[in-house]
Amino acid sequence: MTTTTVRDVSVFGDAMAYFDEAASLLDLEPAMRAILTHPSRQIIFSIPFQRDNGSLEVYTGYRVQYNFARGPAKGGIRYHPGVTLDEVTALAFWMTWKCAVVDLPFGGGKGGVTCDPGELSQGELERITRRYAAELVEVVGPDKDVPAPDVGTTPQIMAWFMDTYSMHMRTTVPGVVTGKPVEIGGSLGRVEATGRGVSLVAFEELQHLGIAPAAARVVVQGFGNVGSVAAKMFASRGCKMIGISDISGGYVNRNGIDIAGATAYAQEHHSLEGYRGGEHVSNEKLLETECDVLVPAALEKVLTAENAERVHARLIVEGANGPTTPEADHIFQRKGTVVVPDIIGNAGGVIVSYFEWVQDRQGYFWKESEVNERLEELLLTNFRKVREVAHQRQIPYRTAAYMVAIDRVTRSIKTRGVYA
Catalytic residue among 74, 110, 180, 232: 110
% of the chain at pLDDT higher than 70: 97
In whole angstroms, give the CA distance from residue 108 to residue 75: 6
Q: What pLDDT sits at residue 33?
A: 93
Query: Kind and range of the H or E element at 240?
Result: strand 240-246
pLDDT digits (tens, 9 = 90+) for 285-310: 999 999 999 999 988 889 999 999 99
**Mean pLDDT score of the chain:** 94
Q: What pLDDT sits at residue 16?
A: 81
pLDDT digits (tens, 9 = 90+) for 134-165: 999 999 999 999 999 998 999 999 999 999 99
Q: Is the pLDDT reported for residue 9 higher than 90? A: no
β-bridge mates for residue 220, sequence order: 244, 295
- Residue 315: pLDDT band (50, 70, 90) is very high
Q: 300: closest CA among 281, 328, 272, 273?
A: 328
Q: Is the pLDDT reported for residue 113 higher than 50? A: yes
Q: How large is the C-alpha radius of gyration of the chain?
A: 21
Q: 243: closest CA among 301, 294, 299, 307?
A: 294
The residue-averaged pLDDT of 81-104 equals: 93
In this structure, is the dihedral angle defined by the CA atoms of residues 188, 166, 67 and 3, taken in order, positive or negative? negative
The answer to whether 74 and 108 have CB atoms below 8 angstroms apart is yes
Instruction: Quickly count: other Cβ atoms within 10 Å of residue 364's Cβ.
Output: 8
pLDDT greater at residue 3 or residue 97:
97
In whole angstroms, give the CA distance from residue 271 to residue 267: 7
- Residue 11: pLDDT band (50, 70, 90) is low
Domains, the chain: 39-184 (3.40.50.10860), 193-345 (3.40.50.720)
Check: pTM over 0.85? Answer yes or no: yes
In whole angstroms, give the CA distance from residue 108 to residue 91: 8
Q: Print the SS3 string covering 287-356.
A: HCCCEEEEEECCCCCCECCCCHHHCCEEEEECCCCCCECHHHHHHHHHHCCEEECHHHHCCHHHHHHHHH
Q: Are strands 249-252 and 313-317 parallel, antiparallel or unpaired?
A: unpaired
Q: What pLDDT sits at residue 87?
A: 87
- Residue 6: pLDDT band (50, 70, 90) is very low
Q: Is 110 a catalytic residue?
A: yes
Name residues whose C-beta falls within 8 Å of residue 276's C-beta, 6 or more positions apart in sequence. none
Q: Is the pLDDT reported for residue 121 higher than 80? A: yes
% of the chain at pLDDT higher than 90: 90
Determine the residue type at 102: V
The answer to whether 325 and 18 have CB atoms below 8 angstroms apart is no
The three-state secondary structure class of 220 is strand
The residue-averaged pLDDT of 237-263 equals: 96
